[in-house]
C-alpha cells in the first residue's frame, strides 16, 4: 500500500504503536514520500493550533488496514480537524501523519457540483478521461444507478449522500474518511445509509474512520470507538460484537452506555 507521509517518521515509529497517548513532535518535511507501513493510519505527536490554541495536542493514533474506527467527542473537540488533516486538506501541522495514498473523504454535505450530472460528479477530480462505466459501477454499488444522468438538484438528501459515497468509492480507497455523513439525513434514510456503509466496508475491505455524534451508530458499525478530548484520543473501546449487530443485545446497550458516560452524558437522566 503506497503511503503519503505528511511528516517524517523513523522506521521504528512506523511500526504498530500504542494508540491513545501523545508522543514527541517531529520536524516538518514539505514533500510527501511513499513508504510501506503496516498501518492504514499512523499518527504520532500530531499538533494543530488555531490562534495559538492547540486543538489537537500531540495526538497519537493507529488504524489497521481494513479496520473500522469511529471517532466520538464533544462538539469542537477537533474531530473534523483531525479528519481534514488525514485527508491531506490541512497541512499546517506538527508531528507525523502517515496515510495511504489511495484515500477518499465524504462529508456531511455531499458537495456535488450542480452543473454536472451525477455520473460526472462521481468522477470529479479523477485523473484521465471520464469513464462513464466506472461511475455506473460505483453508482450501482450504492444503489443509485437509476439516477446516473440526473442533475444533483433533483436528488433527495439520501441519494445525494449515496452519490457522494460513490465518488469516494471510484477512488478505490485503502482509507475511507467519513465526516458525519449521515448527520443531515432523516431517521429511516440514516439507518439505510448506515447499513450501506457497513456493507461497502465489508465488501471493499478498506479502513474506515467515521466521525460521528451518534454513539449508537459508532457501536453499530465500528471495530473500535475512540473518544477525543483535550486534543488527544482520551478513551478507546473495542466493540467485541458479532456482525450484523443487534441493537437489542444487552451487551450493545452496555457498550453504548459506557461510551455515553465517557462523553459525560447522564444515562440515568437519558432513560428517565
> Interface with ligand ATP by CB under 6 A: which residues?
50, 55, 73, 75-81
Sequence-ordered list of residues with C-beta below 8 angstroms from that of 68, at least 6 positions apart, any chain: 201, 207, 208, 210, 221, 222, 223, 224
- Tell me the closest approach of the beta carbon of residue 99 to ligand ATP, in angstroms: 17
- Tell me the closest approach of the beta carbon of residue 175 to ligand ATP, in angstroms: 18
Identify whether 243 is preceded by a cis peptide bond (ω within 30 of 0). Answer: no
Nearer to ligand ATP, 57 or 145 (CB): 57
- Tell me the closest approach of the beta carbon of residue 271 to ligand ATP, in angstroms: 24
Is residue 179 within 8 A of residue 80, CB to CB? The reply is yes
Nearer to ligand ATP, 136 or 214 (CB): 214
Ramachandran bin of 182, using left for φ above 0, alpha for ψ from -120 to 50, beta for the remaining angles:
alpha
Nearer to ligand ATP, 199 or 230 (CB): 230
- Tell me the closest approach of the beta carbon of residue 6 to ligand ATP, in angstroms: 17
- Tell me the closest approach of the beta carbon of residue 182 to ligand ATP, in angstroms: 14
Distances (CA, A) of 125 to 104, 113, 121, 167, 259: 11, 12, 9, 9, 38
Sequence-ordered list of residues with C-beta below 8 angstroms from that of 271, at least 6 positions apart, any chain: none
Nearer to ligand ATP, 54 or 150 (CB): 54
Nearer to ligand ATP, 119 or 182 (CB): 182
Amino acid at each position: 500500500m503506497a503511503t503519503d507521509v505528511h511528516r517524517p517518521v523513523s522506521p521504528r515509529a512506523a511500526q504498530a504503536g500504542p494508540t491513545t497517548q501523545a508522543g514527541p513532535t517531529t520536524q516538518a518535511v514539505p514533500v510527501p514520500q511513499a513508504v510501506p507501513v503496516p498501518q492504514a493510519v499512523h499518527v504520532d505527536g500530531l499538533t494543530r493550533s488555531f490562534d495559538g490554541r492547540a486543538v489537537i495536542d500531540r495526538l497519537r493514533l493507529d488504524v489497521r488496514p481494513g479496520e473500522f474506527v469511529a471517532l466520538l467527542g464533544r462538539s469542537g473537540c477537533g474531530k473534523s480537524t483531525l479528519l481534514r488533516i488525514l485527508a491531506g486538506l490541512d497541512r499546517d501541522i506538527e508531528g507525523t501523519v502517515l496515510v495511504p495514498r489511495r484515500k477518499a473523504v465524504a462529508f456531511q454535505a455531499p458537495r456535488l457540483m450542480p452543473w454536472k450530472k451525477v455520473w460526472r460528479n462521481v468522477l470529479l477530480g479523477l485523473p484521465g478521461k471520464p469513464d462513464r462505466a466506472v461511475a455506473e459501477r460505483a453508482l450501482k454499488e450504492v444503489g443509485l444507478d437509476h439516477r446516473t444522468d440526473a442533475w444533483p438538484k433533483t436528488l433527495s438528501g439520501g441519494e445525494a449522500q449515496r452519490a457522494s459515497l460513490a465518488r469516494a468509492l471510484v477512488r478505490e480507497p485503502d482509507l475511507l474518511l467519513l465526516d458525519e455523513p449521515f448527520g443531515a439525513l432523516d431517521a429511516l434514510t440514516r439507518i439505510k445509509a448506515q447499513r450501506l456503509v457497513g456493507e461497502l466496508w465489508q465488501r471493499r475491505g478498506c479502513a474506515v474512520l467515521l466521525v460521528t455524534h451518534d454513539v449508537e451508530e459508532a457501536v453499530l458499525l465500528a471495530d473500535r470507538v475512540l473518544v477525543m478530548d483535550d486534543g488527544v484520543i482520551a478513551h478507546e473501546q473495542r466493540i467485541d460484537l458479532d456482525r450484523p449487530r443487534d441493537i437489542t443485545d444487552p451487551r450493545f446497550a452496555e457498550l453504548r452506555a459506557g461510551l455515553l458516560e465517557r462523553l459525560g452524558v447522564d444515562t440515568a437522566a437519558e432513560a428517565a
